[in-house]
Structure 1
Amino acid sequence: MLAFCDDVCAPAPRSERMEQRTTIEAKTLIERAARALGVNASEFITVSATRAARDTLQSYERTALQPEAHKAFMAAFDATEPTPALLDLMSLHVEVTQAA
């Protein structure tokens, strides 16, 4: 069980409930996997879903660039003079944020 649990298993007040409908096959599979790890089905679902949620959010929040794109991205930081398009964009930002 120790290898399965992480900070989600840490002792903390558990005040929130979540419920879901599932098939008998999925329930049986989850219960078998939970027993194999020595945890109950609720703990198994909570830890597994939390890990999946973290992985999902991490993949949405991470930007990966190929070496050539990374080089161009870093070169953009070295540009000292803003282009006309960037100046237009900054002006638009000012207009939109001041209107709000």
Structure 2
Amino acid sequence: MQSSVFLAFFFIVVGLPVILGVGGNMFSRWLKHKERMSEVITRQTAEKAAQYAAHTERLEQRVRVLERIVTDRGMDLSDEIERLRRDQPEPIRLG
């Protein structure tokens, strides 16, 4: 009986604080890791959004050019297409 009381007292005084200290440290590291992962994912998402926005802007510009070609009856169509081809920069490929 006395040894079981001693073991319970030893566990409460020594074992429990050690277990909580190690567990708290592990939990703190896990939270920092999750925070870093969240920051990386946020940065990647912002990069993708910027790429999509730039791509959308280029597509809108091309549509405006095509609309202008189709609606402008005073110019020769093939000459306008060739002129626009020479004026356009190389398209940027999204990877």
Structure label with greater radius of gyration:
2
Q: Is the pair's TM-score, using the shorter chain for normalization, greater than 0.5? A: no
Q: What TM-score comes out, normalization by structure 2 length?
A: 0.33
Q: Normalising by the residue count of structure 1, what TM-score does the alignment of the two structures yield?
A: 0.32
Query: Which is helix-richer, 1 or 2?
Result: 2
